[in-house]
Amino acid sequence: MRSPSSNDGRHVVTNIDPNAQFPGEADLIHAASGAKTYVDTGETEAELLARLPGPADVPPLEDMPVVTSLRLPMSLHNRLKQYAAGHNTKPSVLIRQWIELHLSADEDRPILLADAIRALSSVPPAHDAA
């Protein structure tokens, strides 16, 4: 038996019969149970488990990809997508490459990459003396 009560303005259902069904629940349970298909492969559980990849097939933990969320202004995101499309790659590939490049260069670089780029961009282009 269900009886609603109030807790700080929120309705809370208490005293629920664990065997009670809600309207339409029986139809959903029946439909879900009918959708299950079992295939007899003729193999035992041990044989199936033996076909799973072993530890040698799994990359080391430090090389496993992880998902990282990154918030970018829409204008920067659009520029990134255009740049990636122009170079036949995906934005995520570019971001990963740029991070790897920056981190590897940072190990033996005495100045910041941004400072080097700023300095090089102020140098006038070389002209051929032909």
Tens digits of per-residue pLDDT, 60-101? 788 888 899 999 999 999 999 999 999 999 999 999 988 888
User: In this predicted model, which residue has the larger pLDDT, 22 or 81?
Assistant: 81
Q: Are 15 and 1 in contact (CB under 8 A)?
A: yes
Residue 89: which domain range?
72-124
Whether 20 is in a domain gets the answer no
Q: How many structural domains is the chain composed of? A: 1
Whether 109 is in a domain gets the answer yes
Whether 79 is in a domain gets the answer yes
Whether 57 is in a domain gets the answer no
pLDDT band at 1 (very low <50, low <70, confident <90, very high): very low
Average of per-residue pLDDT across 4-26: 64
Whether 78 is in a domain gets the answer yes
